[in-house]
Structure 1
C-alpha cells in the first residue's frame, strides 16, 4: 500500500474511532444524553427521547463500518451528515448563548464553546475528506 493509501486508511479509521467513542457513553446513559439534547432547544420535547435512543446506535454503526472498511460510501456520507448536524446544533446553541455541554463523549462533559466548535470542525473536515476520497475510489 502506498503512503497515500496508508494516510486515507488511517484517516477513515480515525473518523470511525471518533464516532465509536462518541457513541459509547450515549449508549450507556441515554437519559443523560436526552437531558443534553433537551437543553439545545432544537427538537420538540416529544422527539428528544427517541432521538437519544436512535442517534447513538447510528453513530456506533457508522463508526464500526468506517473502522472495518465496510459499506464505505454510505458510512462516509452518513459521517458527514452527522457532523453537519452536530456542528449546526452546536453553532445554534452558541449563537443563542445557551449554557449547554457538548454532549460529545461524556455526560455533563465539556461546556459548549467556540473552541469545541473548532475541534469538532476538524473532525468534520476529516469526515468530508474521507467521504471525498471514498467517492473518488468508487469512481475508479
Structure 2
C-alpha cells in the first residue's frame, strides 16, 4: 500500500529464479477473505499480441503451412491454414463496474462483531491481475503507472 512501493514489489515478483506464476500462487493460496473497501481510478487497458511465433515454438508449425489438415472443419473440405494467431485483451473499470470480469463474494463470519473493513485507495501506480477463481490461473496482468 506504499505510494512508492511498486518498484520493490516488481523486483520481488519478477527478478528471481522463481516464476511469477509460482509466486502469485503462493500469495493467493495464503490469502484470507477480507472485506475491503476498494477505490480504483477509472482505467481502460487494451492489448494486442501476435502469438504466431509462440505457437510455432510450441510445436504448431504445420498449422501455418499448406501441410495443415483442417478439412474436417469445413463442409466442402477446403484447404485451410492458419495465417496468424492474435490475442486481444480488454479491461475497463469505471463507475459502473468492470467490463472484463466480475466477481461476487459472500463472507461468513464466526463472530458476532465483524472486523472493520480495510480501506484501500489505488491512487498511485499498481499491478492488477484477473485470475481464475478455481485454479488461480492468471488470465490478465497489467501495471498501471500513469494514473490521471
TM interval, short-chain normalised: under 0.3
Q: Of the two, which has the highest radius of gyration?
A: 2
Structure scoring higher RCO (CA < 8 A, sep ≥ 6) equals 1
**Structure with higher strand content:** 2
Q: TM-score, normalised by structure 1?
A: 0.26
Please state which structure has a larger fraction of its residues in helix. 1
